[in-house]
Structure 1
């Protein structure tokens, strides 16, 4: 079983206690006056920002509050990204207005037809702006092929009506949103800003302010605050980023900072305990202690760890006549955590398997490391804490003593393949034979 990183789709899929917090935030969204309003949902990578916003979107939709979801990281170029943002919103509005036009009475049809024409003008204006700044492909949306041709032609006609619509974009967009929402509000969710290039992330923020900033909208932006603040700082001085100005930029743009509520590690265990395919490991206090120390309460990192552990356990069980012991599986978990958190130390173990035992002895004797061991610890901050957490002489747990060089050799060979990280590490020097045993590759110096 492999677990995905996909966010939960709706409030019913909440496993981490987000719903209660989302209900509070959604209540504030639906009652706030004096729009527009920009909310920053801040949290580090992997902590569930997308899932939290999906819960919010579902709750708002169930309350008949219209929403639009936009993923800016799908677009690389700055010109494409602001255009994609605008066209995504306009397309969503156009589809709903067209539905109302077809199903309503004459007066409603006429009103919707007028609003639709305004949407088309806005779409052409956005396409015109893009054509002036870049000749690349336009994002599909309310704009048609004819609109693209007209936008390209407008390059030579700067005094046309399209140009005038650019100047009135904010007001026209405000009017369209008012018609679309019936005097209510539109909530635009912008996800994964911190996955964008710095220029793209800042372009999205600028677009909200320049084009959509007068409408009755609530913008909910998911981001790692420090990543986007650094991107803003580089905007002012790429050679020497101005961190203070970067923070001021975000503070001026974002009206309300909302820090993602933390996920309890107990909730992660309840959700993932049954996902570990090896039943002997799923209930192991030692395994979950290792997991918490290594990855804290980061759902995405823990899921990736569980994926790697499941594949490793399955690989170790290829030989049914010699199933892996609980000791070996726990060591596999520790080595997997080391590979994910401290790949430099994992690589060092492959060439010097005794380093783990030396660290363990130093921890027990409360002595300092020396020589290469000290340098290795300095290059891998946090590795001593992780190994201390799984020390076999630690009270309250039953961790095994450090693995032998033979065990380390076997496990590092397996984990180089199944370890669930993007870096390749050292290529395995041994393989599983068809009988399920470990065989040395030719030329390997055991």
Structure 2
């Protein structure tokens, strides 16, 4: 077998890298963002885990920059504490603005340079005001911007003593931020992309959303937020309802915050096949219609899940080859077991203890009979398993899936998959 490489989970970096058909959809959304006059505007990019929200937003950011609309990116999941998050959000925006203003000032003629210098000075004052707020509220280090951690005490003493201008920025942050955005964009709009909200803790995610309203809510900004709608609704509902989330109030919170919900267009499975078909080893397996039917049945067109599956299957094939080249039949068995381990880890454990359960599920599907006893309980505890095994059954018309493997084969393959199959998917990843 030729050398294999692991598939990364990196997002598409821009419009030129689009492999999923996002570009046309992104152009339509960017046209709408550019044409909207009633600002600020908050857009939610809704989509399940692994479906390409970051890639889609990267394409949008690239398109906006091509139109000379300033766009800034913020990743809140890097920060744990509430004070860190709102401060990092503000300082990220102000720092990116300052860097761009410095560049523009160095390239500008004398007439524009003074105006840019004044705008830059205001940006720095706002950054200091935000740092002062953090210093008053928390003893931890600063998370970004112009000030180092050891500047906090000196800054606080200075501002407390005499800096009336800084106090004004603290007390009128929203208004001053609105004015500086107006000057920075020449009366246009600033687009802030907030990614991976659903990777944050629930408290952190809500802190980010609240910060947009409290600190930045009067400026000519478009906030584009990538999120799994269900995850954030539950987070907001837990804030409202405590240990028992109030999902109705959570949904109301989200509806009030998100002016326009944009549901991520699905990735065509054909596009995923074209991109990944050459990454499967060995080549004879890559050309198997049964393999791609298994992938589609188990993972749909979820790019992240499919990449993880192919990584695990390729490593399993390489491990099997240490003894002898595996047949396509054996690799299809390995693929089914890998899908079960990723999606239904508790069933995978039962299968290790009772390898014959796969055969009994297959026979029940072929004869259209009910499962009985413990098998029925296992099926109820693992909804979806019976459908998946039916989709890859040797009895299924139109495909040539092999019959279930014998007990010895299952024990061999499950032992290998505990090493090469990676971690099972978390429950939210299976939704």
Among 306, 320, 328, which residue is 1:326 paired with?
328
Q: Looking at both structures, which has the greater relative contact order when contacts are Cα pairs under 8 Å and sequence separation is at least 6? A: 2
Aligned to 1:358: 360
- Distance in 2 (alpha carbons) for counterparts of 1:151 and 1:133: 14
Structure 2 contact 41–222 (Cα < 8 Å) conserved: yes
Aligned length: 422
What is the Cα deviation at residue 156 of structure 1?
6.1
What is the Cα deviation at residue 18 of structure 1?
0.2
What is the Cα deviation at residue 143 of structure 1?
3.3
Aligned to 2:125: 121
What is the Cα deviation at residue 154 of structure 1?
6.7
Among 299, 302, 306, which residue is 1:302 paired with?
306
Aligned to 2:389: 387
Q: Does 1:111 align with 2:119?
A: no
Aligned to 2:429: none
Q: Does 1:413 align with 2:419?
A: no
Q: Does 1:272 align with 2:276?
A: yes
Q: Does 1:222 align with 2:206?
A: no
Aligned to 2:168: 164
Residue by residue over 1:321-354, the C-alpha shift from the partner in whole angstroms, topping out at 9 and shown as x without a partner, is: x321111111000000011011111111111111
- Distance in 2 (alpha carbons) for counterparts of 1:416 and 1:33: 55
Structure 1 contact 83–139 (Cα < 8 Å) conserved: yes
Aligned to 1:433: none
- Distance in 2 (alpha carbons) for counterparts of 1:135 and 1:158: 22
TM-score normalised per structure 2 = 0.94
SS at 1:142's partner residue? Answer: coil
What is the Cα deviation at residue 423 of structure 1?
8.0
Aligned to 2:292: 288
Aligned to 1:257: 261
What is the Cα deviation at residue 152 of structure 1?
3.4
What is the Cα deviation at residue 153 of structure 1?
2.8
Aligned in 2, Cα 1:205/1:31: closer, same or farther, shift over 3 Å? Answer: same
Taking the TM superposition and a 5 Å limit, the aligned residue runs for 1:8-157 are 8-144=12-148, 148-153=152-157
**Structure 1 stretches of at least 4 aligned residues deviating more than 4 Å after TM superposition:** 144-147, 154-161
Residue by residue over 1:66-107, the C-alpha shift from the partner in whole angstroms, topping out at 9 and shown as x without a partner, is: 110100001111110110010000001111112222332333
SS at 2:301's partner residue? Answer: coil
Q: Which runs of 5+ in 1 are unaligned?
A: 425-446
SS at 2:193's partner residue? Answer: strand
Structure 2 contact 341–424 (Cα < 8 Å) conserved: no
- Distance in 2 (alpha carbons) for counterparts of 1:208 and 1:297: 33
- Distance in 2 (alpha carbons) for counterparts of 1:29 and 1:402: 53
What is the Cα deviation at residue 146 of structure 1?
7.3
Taking the TM superposition and a 5 Å limit, the aligned residue runs for 1:331-350 are 331-350=333-352
- Distance in 1 (alpha carbons) for counterparts of 2:47 and 2:346: 27
Among 178, 181, 187, which residue is 2:182 paired with?
178
